[in-house]
Amino acid sequence: MFLHLGNGVSVRTKDVIAIHDYALFQKGSGSEFLAHEKTAGRLENTLPLEIRQDEEAKKSLIITPEKTYLSAISPWTLKRRSQMVYDTMDNDKETAAVDAAEITME
């Protein structure tokens, strides 16, 4: 399954290592991490061009093995979306188990 980060960018949910609030990365060692990712060419800004430079528009930082993404979508919304994928998968497994049990009982 995929997690939509905004502006037409999606990542595989299984590739997401962490979702953080962008504000945590504006100062100190967090800003060093962002500078390192940018220098390495791994930082991808998913915000629309017209607000790309607006620091207040950046809400979340998504870390994957290949890239680090900036998103205008809040980390809580992204977390909820990613959990919905797994909740749906769990429900499908439970439904399949119930269906299998009903078939064997008949």
> Where are the alpha helices (H) located in 17-74, listed in sequence order?
29-39
pTM of the model: 0.77
pLDDT higher than 60, residue 13: yes
Give residue 35's pLDDT. Answer: 95
Q: What is the mean pLDDT of residues 55-81?
A: 95
User: Side chain identity at 78, as an amino acid letter?
Assistant: L
Give residue 84's pLDDT. Answer: 79
User: pLDDT tens digit string along 21-55?
Assistant: 999 998 888 999 999 999 999 999 999 999 999 99
pLDDT higher than 50, residue 18: yes
Q: Which of 65, 66, 70 is nearest to 30 (CA)?
A: 70
Q: What is the mean pLDDT of residues 64-81?
A: 95
